[in-house]
């Protein structure tokens, strides 16, 4: 054998060895990925997502499951229906238009045994369940009880607004504040106010669907009950004013209330927004973080996905999730960190199915929400 043939043989053997190594590596990667269960999050607050990830990890550790979770965060600039979620076996998102438009697998009804009727009714249609509520937020009224210790829960919306107007006259300052610079909070406030006035929740983005709320807010601005610039106030502005004890009443989500320091929040007691006397059945604005299994999910993962959902909705896990996030648990009997979370759960159980909010009912992505909020600001400033 001449030297040239020998070198060619050595080269071919080397190439073959490299190919085998690369192939083996790809097989290992494929096997590892095939053993993972992919869980996607869409438009969930970062702190809540981190808490859910920690508790999901604990499921696999506690059960010594050799499979491992992989987490995906879906771009909120996309609608859930068009985003790349083909890998996901479970998707966790808020209730609303995106969830309604998603293709979902049927879930076992046994998952809902401890969930209040009003939450179940939103998830179960014709005896079949398609998404599982996990945690409840709530757009609510915070009252400065340190300065207004005699302020009792108002019996009606008009009663509350009369009190707010009286305080504004006495102090010559606005008394009712909301972070109108936040697209989501602006839309939630307007939608919640429309329900409190009429008893009906707005289901489309037209100005006509929230005309009563717009008129009332324009009137309150004219009377000096809300600040002239309230649609430009940020959450930081609201937090600062609350810290300075300059706000008698604030309208904000429970999740945002949790971001306040204890020294601030201890001075405020939260209530649901009161309604007009003619409104007999309430539909509170309570965005609910829910989970579902998409129809395209790998059927081999369905058993594990359902077991994981059963773990997240179990009473001990619901108590942990509520404590760590500050949101209300979906389980009717789980312990809550304080009376605020417990009240939210009670209010939702005692009303009709929760309303996801105008922002989540009418918008599927950040751009749509921004457009709708911008249009509202223009009319509210007139």
Cα–Cα dist 283/272, whole Å: 11
pLDDT in tens, 122-160: 999 899 999 999 999 999 999 999 888 766 667 899 999
**Contact present, 179 and 338 (Cβ < 8 Å):** no
pLDDT in tens, 299-314: 889 999 999 999 999 9
Considering only the C-alpha atoms of the chain, give the largest distance between any 2 of them, rounded to a whole number of Å. 107
* Residue 365: both structure tokens together: 């992505």
The structural architecture, per CATH, of the domain 36-136+289-349 is: 3-Layer(aba) Sandwich (3.40)
Position 64 scores a pLDDT of: 72
Looking at per-residue pLDDT, the higher value among 317 and 102 belongs to 317
Position 296 scores a pLDDT of: 85
Residues 6+ apart with CB under 8 A from 327: 48, 135, 136, 137, 254, 255, 258, 289, 321, 341, 344
* 139-285+358-380: in CATH 3.40.190.10: yes
**Which candidate, 191, 237, 252, 240, places its Cα nearest to that of 217?**
191
Position 20 scores a pLDDT of: 55
| Domain pair 36-136+289-349 / 139-285+358-380, same fold | yes
Position 260 scores a pLDDT of: 94
Position 25 scores a pLDDT of: 45
Position 32 scores a pLDDT of: 41
Report whether pLDDT(355) > 90. yes
pTM here is 0.88
pLDDT grade for 15, boundaries at 50, 70 and 90: low
Report whether pLDDT(23) > 60. no
**Nearest-10 Cα torsion for 109, 113, 116, 121:** 10
**Contact present, 70 and 36 (Cβ < 8 Å):** yes
Domain ranges of the chain: 36-136+289-349, 139-285+358-380
Instruction: State the chain's mean pLDDT as an integer.
Output: 90
Position 110 scores a pLDDT of: 96
pLDDT grade for 81, boundaries at 50, 70 and 90: confident
Q: Which whole number is the average pLDDT over 51-68?
A: 89
Q: Which whole number is the average pLDDT over 58-80?
A: 87
pLDDT in tens, 208-251: 999 999 999 999 999 999 999 999 999 999 999 999 989 999 99
Position 152 scores a pLDDT of: 65
């Amino acid at each position: 054998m001449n030297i040239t043939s020998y070198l060619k043989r050595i080269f071919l053997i080397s190439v073959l060895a490299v190919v085998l190594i690369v192939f083996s590596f790809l097989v290992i990667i494929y096997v590892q990925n095939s053993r993972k269960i992919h869980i996607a999050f869409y438009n969930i607050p970062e702190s809540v997502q981190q808490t859910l990830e920690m508790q999901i990890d604990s499921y696999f550790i506690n059960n010594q499951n050799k499979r491992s979770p992989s987490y995906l965060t879906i771009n909120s600039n996309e609608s859930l229906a068009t985003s790349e979620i083909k890998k996901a076996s479970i998707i966790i998102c808020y209730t609303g238009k995106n969830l309604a438009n998603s293709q979902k697998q049927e879930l076992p009804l046994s998952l809902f045994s401890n969930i209040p009727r009003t939450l179940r009714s939103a998830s179960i249609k014709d005896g079949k369940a398609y998404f599982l509520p996990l945690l409840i937020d709530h757009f609510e009224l915070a009252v400065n009880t340190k300065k207004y210790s005699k302020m009792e829960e108002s019996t009606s919306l008009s009663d509350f607004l009369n009190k707010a107007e009286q305080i504004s006259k006495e102090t010559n300052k606005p008394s009712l504040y909301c972070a109108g610079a936040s697209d989501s909070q602006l839309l939630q406030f307007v939608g919640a106010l429309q329900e409190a006035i009429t008893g009906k929740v707005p289901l489309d983005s037209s100005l006509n669907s929230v005309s009563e709320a717009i008129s009332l807010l324009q009137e309150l601005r004219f009377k000096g009950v809300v600040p002239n610039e309230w649609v430009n106030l940020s959450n930081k502005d609201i937090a600062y004013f609350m810290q300075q004890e300059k706000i008698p009443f604030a309208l904000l989500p429970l999740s945002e209330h949790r971001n306040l320091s204890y020294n601030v929040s201890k001075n405020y007691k939260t209530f649901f927004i009161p309604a007009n006397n003619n409104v007999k059945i309430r539909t509170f604005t309570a965005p609910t973080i829910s989970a579902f299994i998409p129809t395209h999910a790998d059927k081999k993962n369905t058993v594990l996905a359902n077991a994981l959902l059963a773990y997240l909705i179990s009473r001990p896990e619901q108590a942990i999730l509520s404590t760590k996030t500050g949101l209300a648990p979906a389980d009717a009997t789980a312990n809550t960190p304080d009376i605020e979370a417990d009240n939210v759960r009670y209010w939702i159980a005692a009303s009709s199915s929760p309303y996801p909010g105008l922002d989540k009912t009418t918008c599927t992505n950040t751009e749509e929400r921004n457009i709708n909020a911008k249009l509202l600001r223009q009319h509210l400033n007139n």
